[in-house]
Structure 1
Amino acid sequence: MKPGTPVLRSIRLLDQVRERIRFLHYSLQTEKAYLHWVRFFIRWHGRDGFMQHPRDLGAAEVEAFLTMRATERHVSASTHNQALSSRLFLYREVLGMDMPWLNGINRPTQKRRIPSVLTRAEVASMFQFLDGEMALLAKLLYGTGMRLMEGLRLRIKNVDFDRQVIIVREAKGGKDRVVMLPKSLAPALHTQLLHARVVWDADRQVLKVAAGAQPARWTL
């Protein structure tokens, strides 16, 4: 654990894991994955309804858990590495235990494969089965190279029609980057922005009506 790391305020172990992950600004997907693996790890080593604290488990228990995942569950190399990373995070960042044997656990090597690239005809054929917002999102990802979550989290203020660019905030590694905005998608994006504005105005009117229906509060 690095110097200056604040003391955990939570009492429950899973809450401590969640607290430390959020302090380090890990992604929500990482938080869900690490909580799953920590919970699974503890329950798998439980016997007769009694669960041991990870502080009482060592290299043999961690290796046995990872071996079970690889041999019985046949998980992929990336899943295996994710489970191991969650153990490292638990012991080092949450429990503050820097155990040398953690570095000695072997990580499986991932196979390098040639990426599959669709032809222009295959992409055009795929777009024929999409419509509405899903079609716009798919074309946006294909035309800009953004990742799925980057496209889903895209905000109005990050689309610059004048410079024909899109600013991707909090991309992989927590870094911002800029991608080109395809001219063919500009009209559809304008329409989507107008639709979002209409929905926002409707929601605001509903909130105003709901606030006006509540009885007035008073204090002495």
Structure 2
Amino acid sequence: MDQVSVVCRRRHLSPRTEQAYRFWIRRYIHFHNRQHPRAVGPVGIVGFVNHLASVGRVAASTQSQALNALLFLYRDVLEVEVGHLGELRRVQRRDRLPVVLSADEVSAALGQMEGTTAPMAHLLYGSGLRVTECMTLRIKDVDLKAGLIHVRAGKGGKDRSTILPGRLQRSLQRQLLRVASLHRQDVARGAGFAPLPNALERKYPGASQSLAWQFLFPSRVVRCCPQTGRRLRWHASESGVQTAFKAALQQAGVAKHASVHTLRHSFATHLLAAGTDIRTIQLLLGHRNLKTTMIYTHVEQEVRKTVSPLDGLDMR
């Protein structure tokens, strides 16, 4: 498994992709009675994927992820030729429209949020961020003067900029002051370090303890890094805002099957309904393909106030 991690990092795959690949490779080894994948051979992929589909009844995206992990194992890690198995078809996802909250539902739900999770949820809706992107924002990524949020190494390892809502200026300013105060306390205790991506710690030795590299939403606890011995403060857990938003939906009486990611869907749909062009929305969301963004045109058409034929009947 260490070899899998080495190749993932050499290929600059995201930590989440590495974690997912390790999980599926481990499942694959257990499925074949702990035999080494080289002994099983690439032919073992078919039986495992069929088991996931027929017995595990996993979603199409999950099945595709498992297949990608195993092809990566044989092709890139073990350097074994997979032959025709490399042409295995990924499962076709069903075309499903994303759940979208109305403006009133968003307002009602956000009105129930309080504490640190409130500005998190406001950013997710106001800037169209993914929850991971929100949690990993650094102080240097927030440009209050320009009204911009800079997303670094988002999905697919891409950078982008998105809008920072004007009504969040004050709350984010207060959050920045809280982080600065916490950072000063950490430094006084001999800590105050934040984890840096890739090899930046060697390139900029002092950056880890600078305020600019601290997370906008830091964790409540400080953890010791086993490699360096430094006491690091990571970012807050994603589960905090996810749990808080679920509770807010209940308190607001919103019965839709929504999650915190629904705020990103609502951001795109409401922008489109307000007349923002689809290309701008694509850039703000960081979609590689315009087709991904185009799904919101269908959602927006659904939420328009179309007059039902029943309302046109004279039933007096």
- TM category (shorter chain) comes to 0.7 to 0.9
3-state DSSP of counterpart to 2:16:
helix
Taking only aligned residues, the RMSD between alpha carbons, in angstroms, comes to: 1.3
Confirm whether residue 130 of structure 1 aligns to residue 113 of structure 2: yes
Q: Which runs of 4+ in 1 moved over 4 A?
A: none
User: Matched residues in 1 for 2:92 and 2:183: separation?
Assistant: 48
Q: Which of 17, 21, 35 pairs up with 1:30? A: 17
Letter aligned with residue 192 of structure 1: Q
Within 5 Å, which residues of 2 pair with 1:141-180?
A: 141-180=124-163
Once the 2 structures are TM-superposed, how far is the Cα of residue 59 of structure 1 from its aligned partner?
4.7
Structure whose CA Rg is larger: 1
Q: Which of 16, 20, 42 pairs up with 2:3? A: 16
The answer to whether the Cα contact below 8 Å between 1:136 and 1:188 also exists between their aligned partners in 2 is yes
User: Matched residues in 2 for 1:148 and 1:119: separation?
Assistant: 20
Partner of 2:182: 199
Q: Which range moves more in the overlay, 139-148 or 53-62?
A: 53-62
Partner of 2:122: 139
User: Matched residues in 2 for 1:59 and 1:20: separation?
Assistant: 18
Within 5 Å, which residues of 2 pair with 1:68-147?
A: 68-147=51-130
Q: Which of 27, 40, 58 pairs up with 1:40? A: 27
User: Matched residues in 2 for 1:56 and 1:131: separation?
Assistant: 55
User: Matched residues in 2 for 1:81 and 1:166: separation?
Assistant: 32
% identical aligned pairs:
40
1:14-50 CA distances to partner (integer Å, 9 max, x unpaired)?
110011001111111111111111111011101xxxx
1:151-204 CA distances to partner (integer Å, 9 max, x unpaired)?
101111111112111111111221111111110000000000000011111111
Structure with higher RCO (Cα < 8 A, 6+ apart): 2
User: Matched residues in 1 for 2:145 and 2:81: separation?
Assistant: 52
TM-score, scaled to structure 2:
0.58
Once the 2 structures are TM-superposed, how far is the Cα of residue 137 of structure 1 from its aligned partner?
0.4
TM-score, scaled to structure 1:
0.83
User: Matched residues in 2 for 1:176 and 1:93: separation?
Assistant: 26
1:82-140 CA distances to partner (integer Å, 9 max, x unpaired)?
00000110011101113212223232110011222110110011112211211100000
Q: How many residues align?
A: 191
Letter aligned with residue 28 of structure 1: P
The answer to whether the Cα contact below 8 Å between 2:14 and 2:157 also exists between their aligned partners in 1 is no
